[in-house]
Amino acid sequence: MINRKVPEDTRLEELKYWCRQFHRFNLAPPYKGGSYGNLSFRFKDGEDSFIITGSRIGLKDKLSNDCFVKVLSCDMEKGIVHTYGVREPSSESMLHFAIYHHRKDVNAIFHGHCQGILAHANRLKISETKKEEPYGTIELVQRVVDILNDESFLVMKNHGFISLGKTMKEAGELTLQIYKRCCNYTGTEFRTWDE
Ligand SMILES: [Zn+2]
C-alpha cells in the first residue's frame, strides 16, 4: 500500500551520510543479485514507524529524498508493508519493523553485507542466527528476533550483519569499529574503496 509522497525530514541528511559511508567501505554490495544493504531510523519515539532506503537502491553518492520511504506499519502475518514514498520499501522492511517493535531503545538499524564479518563472527563474539533463511521472509525475521536480546550487533547466517544504535551515529560507528577489527583478522587494509 503506497502513498506516493517523498518523505521530508532533516534527519535524512544524516542517513544519506551513513549510506555513503557504507558504500565507500563496500559494506553493502548486492546480496544474491537482489538486495543491497538497507539503513533506517525510527521516525518518532514510542512508535514503530521508520524511514528506510527504498528497494534496489545502491548506496551510491547522490541519494535524493525520493530514494527513501517511510514505513508506517507492517502486517507481519500477511506480509504487508504500509508505506509512503515513490518507491517500494526495502525488502527487509519487516525485519526493521520487528526490531523497532521489540527494542524500544533502538532508533537506528543499519544492515549491510560483508564476507569478512560473516567469516569471523565467532572470533568477533557476534551472535549469529541459527539457520540461513531467504531475505525478505518472515522466517528470517523470526531467526533474528530469536537472538535479538539486548545485542547491538548481529550476524544473519550466510547473509549479512545488522548494527543497532540509540542514534544513527552509534549504529554507524559500531559498524566501522567492527569492520576495522575484522580487517585485522582478514589482513585487509581498513580503507575506503573510492579513494
Ligand atoms: Zn541483506
The phi and psi torsions of 184 (rounded to 5 degrees) equal -60, -45
Q: Would you call 149 helix, strand, or coil by DSSP?
A: coil
d(CA 117, CA 1): 35
Cα Rg, the chain, nearest whole Å: 15
> Has residue 85 got a pLDDT over 90?
no
Q: What is this structure's pTM?
A: 0.93
**Grid coordinates in use for 45?**
519515539
Distance 184 CA to ligand 1 centre (A): 24
- Over the stretch 86-111, which tens digit does the pLDDT of each residue have? 888 887 899 999 999 999 999 999 99
Alpha carbon of 28 to ligand 1 centroid (Å): 8
Task: From the options 2.30.42.10, 3.40.225.10, 3.40.50.300, 3.50.50.60, give the CATH code of 2-186.
Answer: 3.40.225.10
In the predicted structure, residue 39 carries a pLDDT above the cut 60: yes
Instruction: Find the 105 Cα to ligand 1 centroid distance in Å.
Output: 23
Cα–ligand 1 centroid distance for 187 (angstroms): 24
188 alpha carbon to ligand 1 midpoint, in Å?
22
CA of 138 to the centre of ligand 1 (A): 14
Q: What residue spans of the chain are helical by DSSP H?
A: 12-24, 93-102, 115-119, 138-148, 168-186
What is the reported pLDDT for 162? 98
Q: Residue 76 gets which letter from DSSP?
A: T
Distance 135 CA to ligand 1 centre (A): 6
Kindly report the backbone phi and psi dihedral angles of residue 113, in degrees, each rounded to the nearest multiple of 5, phi listed first: -125, 125
Q: How far is the CA of 165 from the centre of ligand 1 (A)?
A: 18
**What's residue 113's pLDDT?**
93
Q: What protein residues have CB closer than 5 angstroms to ion ligand 1?
A: 31, 35, 160
The gap between the terminal CA atoms of the chain, to the nearest Å, is: 41
CA distances from 177 to 97, 170, 174 (A): 25, 10, 5
Give the pLDDT band (50/70/90) at residue 44: very high
pLDDT at residue 13 above 90? yes
Cα 57 → chain centroid: 12
